[in-house]
Copies of this chain bind each other. A is one copy, B any other.
Amino acid sequence: MSSPLSALATAAPAAAAVLAQRYHMVRQRTVTLCQPLLPEDTVVQPMIDVSPPKWHLAHVTWFFETFLLKEYLPGYTVYHPDYAFLFNSYYNSLGSRVNRADRGTLSRPALADVYRYRAHVDEQMEKLLALADELPSDFYELMELGLQHEQQHQELLATDIKYILSTSPLAPAYLKPATSAPTGTNSAEAEAASLPEVSWLPVPGGISRIGYEGTGFCFDNEQAPHEVLTADFELQNRLVTNGEYLQFIEAGGYQDFRYWLGEGWDLVQTQQWEAPLYWMLHDGRWHRFTHHGLQPVNLTAPVTHISFYEADAYAHWAGARLPTEPEWEVAARYFGANPTTGTFLESNLLDPQPLPANADPTHCHQLLGDAWEWTYSAYHPYPGYVRAAGALGEYNGKFMINQMVLRGGSCATPVSHIRLTYRNFFHADKRWQFTGIRLAR
């Protein structure tokens, strides 16, 4: 397998010791994320997009086994002959596999067996990493990919766990409720009052470059970097809040087809959507299921768990629109977006956070972290994009149809995983991710 990822990354070989430490930390975080779960929680699949946590734990391990150990560790034989069938996600190059919809029907291997599998692979990876100085640059690229891949699954784990726990009427909490819960008055008006006024920030038009051009890791879909032309436009200085979205609901937004794309309106009717995913009326007040159990809706926090259709309908109703992908990246570069103020997985809050009341209205907030921002751009190849040879050519390229780009990362994204050029993508009807709204005009 000669240089399969030359298009995927240009990472300079890190010192082996550093790499081993990163490997350990990334792997450990995945386990930590699953710590609060019962074995029962790790096997179910309440909808097709959700994978059982047990499956995630094994799949990311299979990824290292398949692309690293089998390739580079002399004499390595696979841990179990059936695991490729069980834990291959979607690589046609690597053979047949369990139907995606059937992942939640498999009680075996047991969770403990999957942890044993992880321990085995970690042990072997340690051996391999000890040889790292002698391995080719391909190895380093694949290591990086394996780690980034596991970080992607950490976000999926966080959101899948939320969905799994939400299906029970018992509304179990994954995390203890934060002690800094809203004190004093609990009224919506009071909450909303504390949020700084929204403002529109102009972004001058012209030719800009987008796409990744650095020397670190990026996914193949962030390349080739290229020039784009954008017109003058304005972006809101923060994400749309629950309180603002609630006004759309109360104005009859879910009952008026005029705001909606046709396929979105069909979903509103057939799925009986009346609010974002996880919202429910409880004693006359809107609540949301969260990683902390059922909580009153915090009106000043960014709205999340909405489909592209809802984001677009909201924008119509608000007399605005969603930014395009080039606009988003141009603006993020223009405003010097950086992750230091955003909410990411590492915060362990697993909920997007309100801006402080004194946040600077001339600053563009929340571009990175908190909530993925739907763009009105389809997920298509950049100019010059080439699928890699071999199985990894299936990693990104084959999904470049019928999905919309989201940008900026969320409260469930590891901070070391996000980039200004990062392209996330989901079908327009998906709601179980931390997806939110940034308005443009």
Task: List residues of chain A with CB under 8 Å of any chain B CB.
Answer: 38-47, 54, 82, 85-86, 90, 92-93, 102, 104-111, 164-165, 167-170, 172, 207, 226-229, 231, 257-258, 260-265, 308-309, 312, 376-378, 380-381, 383, 393-394, 398-402, 428
- CB-CB under 8 A from A102, the residues of chain B are 46, 167
Q: How far is the CA of A167 from the CA of B108 in the complex (A)?
A: 9
- CB-CB under 8 A from A398, the residues of chain B are 260-262, 265
Picked from B104, B207, B263, the residue with its CB within 8 Å of the CB of A401 is B263
- 14 A-B contacts, Cβ less than 8 Å apart? A38-B111, A40-B42, A40-B107, A40-B110, A46-B102, A82-B170, A92-B265, A102-B167, A207-B229, A227-B231, A261-B400, A309-B401, A312-B401, A376-B380
- CB-CB under 8 A from A257, the residues of chain B are 92
B44 pairs with A169, CB closer than 8 A: no
In the complex formed, the residue of B with least CB distance to A321 is B381
- CB-CB under 8 A from A38, the residues of chain B are 39, 107-108, 110-111
Q: How far is the CA of A264 from the CA of B54 in the complex (A)?
A: 30
In the complex formed, the residue of B with least CB distance to A258 is B393
How near does chain B come to A81, taking the closest CB pair, in angstroms? 9
In the complex formed, the residue of B with least CB distance to A376 is B380
Picked from B109, B110, B263, B401, the residue with its CB within 8 Å of the CB of A261 is B401
Q: How far is the CA of A46 from the CA of B104 in the complex (A)?
A: 8
Chain A contact residues, majority secondary structure: mixed
- CB-CB under 8 A from A47, the residues of chain B are 105
In the complex formed, the residue of B with least CB distance to A393 is B258
A170 pairs with B108, CB closer than 8 A: yes
B82 pairs with A262, CB closer than 8 A: no
B377 pairs with A164, CB closer than 8 A: no
* Residue of A93, A106, A393 with most partner-chain B CB within 10 A: A106
Picked from B165, B399, B400, the residue with its CB within 8 Å of the CB of A108 is B165
B376 pairs with A106, CB closer than 8 A: no
Q: How far is the CA of A265 from the CA of B397 in the complex (A)?
A: 13
Q: How far is the CA of A416 from the CA of B11 in the complex (A)?
A: 56
Q: How far is the CA of A92 from the CA of B265 in the complex (A)?
A: 10
- CB-CB under 8 A from A380, the residues of chain B are 376-378
Q: How far is the CA of A408 from the CA of B316 in the complex (A)?
A: 31
In the complex formed, the residue of B with least CB distance to A224 is B231
A106 pairs with B402, CB closer than 8 A: no
B107 pairs with A44, CB closer than 8 A: yes
How near does chain B come to A92, taking the closest CB pair, in angstroms? 4
Q: How far is the CA of A266 from the CA of B260 in the complex (A)?
A: 29
How near does chain B come to A422, taking the closest CB pair, in angstroms? 20
B107 pairs with A104, CB closer than 8 A: no
- CB-CB under 8 A from A393, the residues of chain B are 258
How near does chain B come to A272, taking the closest CB pair, in angstroms? 15
Picked from B44, B170, B229, B265, the residue with its CB within 8 Å of the CB of A43 is B44
Q: How far is the CA of A318 from the CA of B294 in the complex (A)?
A: 48
- CB-CB under 8 A from A165, the residues of chain B are 107-108
Q: How far is the CA of A102 from the CA of B46 in the complex (A)?
A: 8
B40 pairs with A43, CB closer than 8 A: yes
